[in-house]
Structure 1
Amino acid sequence: MDTIELGNVTVTRVLEVYGPAGLTPRAFFPESSEDVWTEESAWLRPEFADGEPTVVNAALQTWMLRSGGRTILVDTGGGNHKPRPGTPWDQLETDFLGNLARAGVRPEDVDIVVNTHLHADHVGWNTRLEGGDWVPTFPNADYVIHRNDFEFWNPANGHTSVLGEGPSQVFDDSVAPVHEAGLTRLWEGGSHRIDANLRLELAAGHTPGSSVLTLASGGDRAVFAGDLLHSPVQILEPDANSCFCEDADQARAARRRILGWAADHNGLLIPAHFGGHGAAEVVRDGGGFAIKGWAPFAPYTPGDEGDEGDEGKG
């Protein structure tokens, strides 16, 4: 497992699955320029885009933090046995819980689960299948979710999404069971303090309740940026949204704000889905941004599913 220390916080990368996301670069990022994918292909391939025709690669992974004596998970990936037709993560069978165990964490050890937003690939391991029912995977955890996202994705409220009807199934199997178990903590407003080192901030646009988790401990800074960025191309072209953003203008503004914070505070930018080294340092570059360097995590390549083994298979 990959672990780094940022001040008094340890950050461990726990991989679920890594490979093609099923979309070409221009389909995934319709606002990206025609040339960036070829001009930058020397370092984008194979970690971030590969194949003929080229498709975007994405990692499903969880960031496990130990802070203030508590164990915190940032997003929970796709999950096993989840019906996700039309996606690469339909009916996954991975050893994610085994990878988590090898990082030293059992499900009952988790104190907090942060869902940066409620898309399928961020909430899947919120629950697991047990006796035909979806039950909370982390029975002792508070599942921290912005109320805006909870209300938007709750099918009872009848909201319309750019994703169509599929997300109702996601809410039913991965969010409703933890809420019915009394484990959700729905926060509101612009920010929510987790502890002395960690604070959630609303960064709406990708979804109405999309949030980022900022880390400030000692002299170290980092931001867990969720889906504000799916590809490092969005560092170079921060106004290029993904096709999954609910509010395009808000998403662009949030992305630029978080990139600016990371650049100005020398903070590590840790998006949800970056393969390779998983995170980057960024700097301002004229009116945009550039990559200063990669995080010290060992690089993953497409096809990785973390450590081998059977422990924790669900």
Structure 2
Amino acid sequence: MDSPSATSSATSAARWTVGDLTVHRIDEVPLPPPTGAWLLPEASPETVSQVPWLRPDFADDAGALRLASHSFAFSVDGLRVLVDTGIGNGKNRANPAWNQLNSDYLTRLRDAGFAPESVDLVILTHLHTDHVGWNTRADGGTWQPTFPRARYVTARAEWDHWAGADMDAARREMFRDSVHPVRDAGLLHLVDAPAEGTDIAPGVRLLPTPGHTPGHLSVQLRSRTAGALITGDAIHHPVQLPHPGLTSCVDIDPGQAAATRRRLLASLADTDTLVLGSHFPAPTGGRVTSQSGAYRLAPVR
């Protein structure tokens, strides 16, 4: 996702067990009620009301979608891994609610056992404002990498797209304060992700899920016989399970995004794979089950 607003409080911490892995949700902020109508304009209150299992966790009684901003963190094979870095603090943003944000994200990250200096790998599902913000933090008058020992990894296709794009002023500023300092520090690593994905660490695979952006990645975890998938913005909200054709107003290629989502949901349906939504509010995690020719999310709390 790449706008609009966020509020200043967050939900309580959560974690899930995936084989030998423990995946922590690192909360930043819940997103305000107007976000859903802006982000998924075809998810009208009438459409939402026809999916009763969305309430009360994923939608309110009026049919407004609930969304949140958070990261996921886990340790694997001695590596401490963070997936996406949220909106970030103290940054000039065109969106008023994201502008000069002041959240307790870093405190929550430390409380989960992931001090910034201990993180080895930061996976960026894509280069949108609300997924790269904590890449950097203010140090005097400059922006410095928040995770100075980490490799920041994203898809080469993602970088190549934005490197050639005619960006507006707000996006250029985001790259200047949250992406370029990481590149300039030699910490940005670009990976090629073929259709079957590429392994970035033992049991951690980057899967290309294009459409929202050209180089968008989802993150597949495997430990012993258990598996999980961190969606990124391939699935913004559980309403897209019964209605996978619902696209986001910020999808670069809506048709491809819908096709990717259908393919992804078909591969997940009726399996034991835990799905962790990058913008799903609590309970955030669940399993995809088939229902009446479509899909629903069975929460795992």
TM-score of the superposed pair, with normalisation by structure 1: 0.85
Other structure's SS at 1:166 match? helix
Q: Report the alpha carbon displacement of residue 43 of structure 1 after superposing the two structures with TM.
A: 3.9
Counterpart residue number, 2:299: 294
- Indicate conservation of the 8 Å contact 1:228/1:271, yes or no: no
Query: What amino acid is aligned across from residue 183 of structure 2 in structure 1?
Result: H
Q: What residue identity is the alignment partner of 1:11?
A: V
Contact 2:54–2:238 under 8 Å retained in 1: no
CA distance in 2, matches of 1:210, 1:129: 27
**How far apart are the structure 2 equivalents of 1:80 and 1:234?**
30
Provide the C-alpha distance between the structure 2 equivalents of 1:51 and 1:43, rounded to a whole number of angstroms: 10
Equivalences for residues 1-314 of structure 1 within 5 A: 1-20=13-32, 22-25=34-37, 27-32=38-43, 35-40=46-51, 43-45=54-56, 47-50=57-60, 55-154=64-163, 157-159=164-166, 165-190=169-194, 191-291=197-297, 293-296=298-301
User: For residues 252 and 119 of structure 1, what CA distance do their matches in structure 2 show?
Assistant: 19
Matches of 2:59 and 2:36, distance apart in 1: 9
Cα distance in 1 between the residues matched to 2:213 and 2:198: 18
**What is the count of residue pairs matched by the alignment?**
287
Q: Secondary structure at the match of 1:223?
A: strand
- Map Cα deviations across residues 200-221 of structure 1 (whole Å, 9 max, x no partner): 0111100011101111211111
Q: CA deviation at 1:30?
A: 2.9
Q: Which has the higher contact order (CA 8 A, sep 6+)?
A: 1
Deviation for aligned residue 1:186: 0.3
> Displacement of 1:3 after TM fit?
2.3
User: Could you tell me how far apart the structure 2 residues matched to 1:19 and 1:205 are?
Assistant: 23
Partner in structure 1 of residue 4 of structure 2 = none
Which letter maps to 2:142? Answer: D
Any gaps of 5 or more consecutive residues in structure 2? 1-12
Q: What is the CA distance between 1:35 and its match in structure 2?
A: 2.4
Question: Helix, strand or coil: the match of 1:116?
Answer: coil
Q: What is the alpha-carbon distance in structure 2 between the residues aligned to residue 21 and residue 128 of structure 1?
A: 28
Partner of 1:303: none
- Give the conservation status (yes or no) of the 8 Å contact 2:54–2:239: no
Q: Percent identity?
A: 37
Instruction: Please report how far the alpha carbon of residue 148 of structure 1 lies from its aligned counterpart in structure 2 after TM superposition.
Output: 1.6
Per-residue displacement from partner, 1:275-302 (whole Å, max 9, x unpaired)? 12011111123442122x2122xxxxxx
Q: Deviations over 1:221-275 (max 9, x none)?
A: 1111101122110011011111110001110111112212222532111110111
Local SS of the residue matching 1:101: helix
Contact 2:135 2:145 in 1 (8 A): yes
Does the residue aligned with 2:269 lie in a helix, a strand or coil? helix
Distance change (3 Å), C-alpha of 1:169 and 1:195? same
Structure 1 letter corresponding to 2:268: A
Judged with a 3 Å threshold, the aligned counterparts in structure 2 of structure 1 residues 111 and 203 are, in CA distance, closer, same or farther, namely: same
Alpha-carbon distance in structure 2 between the residues aligned to 1:57 and 1:167: 25
Letter of the 1:158 partner, please give it: A
CA distance in 1, matches of 2:44, 2:60: 17
Report the residue type matching 1:278 in the other structure: T
How far apart, in 2, do the equivalents of 1:254 and 1:165 lie?
A: 30
Question: What letter matches 1:48 in structure 2?
Answer: F
Partner secondary structure for residue 282 of structure 2: coil
What is the TM-score normalised by the length of structure 2? 0.89
**1:23 Cα shift?**
3.3
RMSD: 2.0
Match of 1:236, SS state, is coil
Cα deviation, 1:157-209, whole Å, max 9, x if unaligned, reads 3346xxx5532221111111000100011011322212221100111100011
Cα distance between partner residues in 1 of 2:36 and 2:24: 30
Contact 2:154 2:189 in 1 (8 A): yes
